[in-house]
Chain A
Amino acid sequence: MQVRRSPKTYDVCIIGSGAAGGTAAKVLSEGGLSVALLEAGPPLIPARDYKEHVWPYELPHRGAGVGGGLRQGLPDEFMAPNGAWEIQGEPYVSAPGSRFRWFRSRIVGGRTNHWGRIALRMAPVDFKVRSHDGRGDDWPISYEDVAPYYDKVEAYIGVFGTKENIPSAPDGVFLPPPKPRCTETIIKKACDKLDILCIPSRLAILTKPLNGRPACHYCAQCGRGCITASNFSSSQVMIPPAEKTGRFTLITGAMARELIVGKDGKVAAVSYIDKATREERRIHARAFIVAASACESARLLLNSRSTLFPDGLANSSGVVGRNLMDTVGSDGGGYFPQLERMPAHNHDGVGGMHMYLPWWKFDRKNEFLRGYHTEFGGGRGMPGVGDYDDLCDEFEGYGVSLKRECKKKYGTYIGFAGRGEMIPNENCYCEIDPNVVDQWGIPVLRFHWKWGDNELRMARDMQETYREIVETAGGTYMPPVQRGADHPYGIADGGVIIHEVGTVRMGDRPATSALNGYCQAHDVKNLFVTDGASFVTNADKNPTLTIMALTWRASDYLLDQAKKGNL
């Protein structure tokens, strides 16, 4: 069978359409280059895929899915088909003794469709951790290098927030924040008593119209997908302007298999499987941006072996797949009796928190290095399947008393989610499994994972803090369900927070890093990796905003190189 090659050579081929791929597509195509983008999943069609404003009783399964799949961990029926922990025919492996979970989105827009829209800038110190506390490595770039791109991204996608002058949480270009909900005013008061910072959150959701996108209408359903595109997703905000240029080609159902290197040592083409026909095809381009998500990008490089690059492309340092980080996650919750007295009212708001707790103990010595922020939420949301599981188990019985208890406790819970910085360690990495391929014949990843002591101490601090806040607010603390020997202090398994980064990291030295500060491979000049793989550290800031800023910066650099004739 003959491999079909594309009839033309594009200026740039991008692999992946999420935060990184979408940003690159917009910036490069608007900059005048011809761009092809490969996405492993189908197109996203909001009219078909979104279930915004649908009530549970309008679906036969009430949101539980066929066979009650939600109870077995399958996605909620209301969600757009924007990702899953397991994808049929595309396995991954956790090494013995390791528990790692990998959430993947195979759809245009990737995980930005699923993203909580929490858009936090990394702080200056986050780029220079080794200089600060001696652990890990500094980034080859500084906050000042990235700040102009944070500005550009925020101004374009729309992020609400407030100027606070907090060193651990730099201010950005902000739209006004929505007013706090009752749950948030209660926690804010308790935090004020405890000298814990609690400020308006920073989410990529419009509170004013922007670039033709209308403002949020406060239905709290961002997770289902927003038919008015008032929240950010790559599929609705980055891909459309690229398409408008006429220089952009989107190829869906295209599973990248290998990057093919020419005699000159540069990437000449990407080989991909067309999922519809199961045929191998190729796209030729002058430059390649790998933006398939941290682990998927590492997988593609490791699967791109050649005589020039026997250990995988751009991997002369051996770091590809190494330094895998997720976020330290530990959750808790509380029951708040004062919420029982709240009159019925609309508590929806945006599809996420209106306030959050940035890292506040940056000015003192703690029992662990680095920091964490805290997300919280609860209250009178739309009732859903599983909401009363815990109450049923605790209250037991049946009849009118059970029914009344459910009504009494409705909307009286607030949950807390700690999100902290993990320091990379040698036990956390991914590699190609020697025995397993996916249904496309592509070797799959095997994950290794072990939390370090610093992460466990941080999780303990989260638990202590949330108990203190709940009790100060007059509530009853409810520790995480998952705790004990496997999950000390409720720490989540690797990958569960869905903030994997670090597997193709940047650095000044080609011996210990794969990319330079522009996300350009040290070994292969026409190859860029701009997703979370490029991160040197994983600050307590959710990575998406930084992924977009780094990609925009790398894309500007690539445009500049193109102008100079260096493409």
Chain B
Amino acid sequence: MSISRRDILKSLTVTAVAGSVLRVIPLKAAEYAHQMVKTEKAAQNGAYTPKFFSPHAYKTLQSLCQTIIPRDENAKGAIEAGAPEFIDLLSSENQDYQVSLGGGLMWLDNTCIDRYENVYLDCTPQQQKEILDLIAYRKNAKTDPSLGQGIEFFSFLRKMTADGFFTSEIGINYLGYIGNTYMSEFPGCPPVPGE
């Protein structure tokens, strides 16, 4: 497998200018190479062990990710799209993320204990919604400045969750991106409705 891949890539690159292989089967070779790169670099499936977050924090992270981008009738949600794994991996490598996300999750539990006498995951769905509705909007910090840190945390987690979801196969299909492929001609713009 790796030998044929290397050979194909070599033929595409080193001799591209001299033109041996490509003169004969340029387009097929290109397509084949792309497929092989794709297969070889495909991410591994399987169970995930968090690299940074504690088991409890990771469960909370998963719950928040899925609440930010839930499954609906059109597509699966952030968990299925691998957003928590993505966020955990990056956090394991970045001390700033460890503070802002790790600390943010602690802030959420602390705040839930103060308000509801339970950590976030043990709160009722109504209580969870109540606290998220408070930290999901910047304007709430004006009326209650004690929410500031929570709002900052949630704002960053929302971006990271969007990154994780919309860079996944599920997210990309949901958006309807079509491309990243080989075409012999670019077809241009289909008719624009209403134009």
A interface vs B, CB < 8 Å? 45-47, 51-64, 66-68, 178-182, 184-186, 209, 211-215, 217-221, 227-229, 236-237, 240-241, 244, 338, 341-350, 380-389, 391-393, 396-400, 402-403, 406-407, 410-411
Contacts and interface: CB of A to CB of B under 8 A. Distances in A.
Task: Please indicate which of the listed interface residues A61, A228, A385 has the most CB atoms of chain B within 10 Å of its own CB.
Answer: A228
Interface in B139-158: 154-155, 158
18 contacts: A61-B89, A61-B90, A64-B163, A67-B94, A185-B192, A211-B19, A212-B18, A214-B27, A218-B185, A221-B180, A345-B190, A346-B181, A346-B186, A381-B179, A393-B159, A398-B67, A398-B132, A410-B177
B183 A241 contact: no
Contacts of A389: 159, 162
B129 to A, nearest CB: 10
10 nearest A-B residue pairs (beta carbon): A212-B19, A179-B188, A214-B26, A67-B94, A47-B9, A344-B176, A56-B167, A67-B93, A182-B189, A348-B179
B82 interface: yes
B70 interface: yes
A62 B23 CA distance: 35
A240 B17 contact: yes
A69 to B, nearest CB: 8
Task: Please indicate which of the listed interface residues B38, B167, B168, B171 has the most CB atoms of chain A within 10 Å of its own CB.
Answer: B167
A218 B186 contact: yes
B27 A407 contact: no
A347 B13 CA distance: 26
A383 B137 CA distance: 25
Contact of B42 (A58, A349, A350, A380): A58
Interface of B: 6, 9-10, 12-14, 16-19, 22-23, 26-27, 30-31, 33-34, 37-38, 41-43, 67-70, 72, 75, 82, 86, 89-90, 93-94, 97, 132, 136-138, 154-155, 158-159, 162-169, 171-172, 174-190, 192-195
Contacts of B185: 218
B18 to A, nearest CB: 6
Contacts of A410: 175-177
Contact of B189 (A185, A213, A237, A240): A185
Contacts of A56: 167-168, 172
A386 B18 CA distance: 40
Contacts of A383: 166-167, 171-172, 175, 177
A227 B180 contact: no
Given A182-B192, A209-B26, A350 B68 contact: no
B9 A212 contact: no
Contact of A393 (B18, B155, B178, B180): B155
Contact of A403 (B70, B154, B189): B70
B38 A382 contact: no
A228 B70 contact: no
B41 A54 contact: yes
B186 A350 contact: yes
Contacts of A342: 190, 192-193
Contacts of A184: 189
B188 A181 contact: yes
A46 B13 contact: yes
A437 to B, nearest CB: 30
Contacts of A393: 155, 159
A417 B184 CA distance: 29
Contacts of A229: 12-13, 16-17
A212 B176 CA distance: 35
Given A62-B163, A403-B174, A410-B176, 10 more contacts: A55-B172, A57-B43, A59-B41, A209-B26, A214-B16, A338-B192, A388-B163, A392-B155, A392-B159, A407-B175
Nearest to A393: B155
B138 A396 contact: yes
Contacts of A382: 172, 177, 179-180
B81 to A, nearest CB: 8
Task: Please indicate which of the listed interface residues B6, B163, B169 has the most CB atoms of chain A within 10 Å of its own CB.
Answer: B163
A404 to B, nearest CB: 8
Contacts of B70: 399-400, 403
A293 B21 CA distance: 34
A241 B33 contact: no
Contacts of A182: 189-190, 192
Contacts of A237: 17
A236 B38 contact: no
